[in-house]
């Protein structure tokens, strides 16, 4: 038996190169898109973490006040070039007498649009 190998491969390397280049382009495009989404998500996570920290700090500041002085208030704070508005609403005698329902809402605007985070708490007067 005599097997002869074809030695005429003209053009096959060009086609293989084009297919490889196309696959590389698709892969690079997908990886680039994934990286951009990851970067945007990281920024969103940072702003949300900051908003949560600001809301918790506001509740702690209120906790340090005398019970009779806890009242509605609004302030704004800029962290890492992002401005957050902190609005606290206090409802007296809710849900029962001698209690205050507190809602702290942190608002900010990021490229995706306006965002908010709200935290609720109930404070009571400590009688000594």
| CATH code linked to domain 12-124 | 3.30.1300
- H or E segment to which residue 30 belongs: helix 12-63
Domain boundaries, the chain: 12-124
From first to last of its 128 residues, the chain has per-residue pLDDT tens of 666 565 665 666 888 889 999 999 999 999 999 999 998 888 889 999 999 999 999 999 999 999 999 999 999 999 999 999 999 999 999 888 889 999 999 999 988 899 999 999 999 987 76
Instruction: Give the predicted TM-score (pTM) of the model.
Output: 0.73
């Amino acid at each position: 038996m005599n097997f002869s190998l074809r030695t005429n491969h003209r053009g096959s390397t060009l086609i293989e190169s084009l297919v490889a280049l196309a696959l590389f382009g698709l892969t690079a495009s997908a990886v680039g898109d994934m990286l951009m989404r990851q970067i945007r998500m990281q920024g969103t996570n940072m702003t949300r973490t900051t908003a949560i920290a600001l809301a918790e700090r506001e509740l702690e500041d209120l906790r340090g006040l005398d019970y009779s002085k806890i009242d509605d208030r609004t302030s704004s704070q800029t962290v890492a070039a992002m401005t957050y508005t902190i609005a606290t609403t206090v409802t007296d005698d809710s849900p029962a007498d001698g209690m205050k329902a507190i809602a702290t809402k942190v608002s900010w605007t990021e490229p995706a649009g306006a965002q908010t985070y709200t935290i609720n708490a109930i404070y009571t007067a400590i009688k000594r």
